Amino acid sequence: MKSYFSTSYKQNENGYIEILLQIIKMMNINASNREVNDFLFEVGVNLANKHAVKNVDSLSGLHLEINDILTKMGFGVCQIEDADNHVIIKHHDLPVIDDGDFKNKWLQYFSVIMCGLYNSWFRQTGAPVELVCTIKEIIAPSDAVFEFKRVK
Q: What is the pLDDT of residues 65-90, one digit of tens each?
A: 999 999 999 999 999 999 989 999 99
- Rounded Cα distance between 111 and 130, Å, is 20
Is the domain spanning 13-150 CATH 3.30.1380.20? The answer is yes
- Rounded Cα distance between 122 and 48, Å, is 10
Instruction: Give the global pTM.
Output: 0.89
Domain ranges of the chain: 13-150
Q: What is the pLDDT of residues 112-149, one digit of tens each?
A: 999 999 999 999 999 999 999 999 999 999 999 999 99
Q: Please say whether the beta carbons of 86 and 148 come within 8 A.
A: yes
- Rounded Cα distance between 137 and 94, Å, is 13
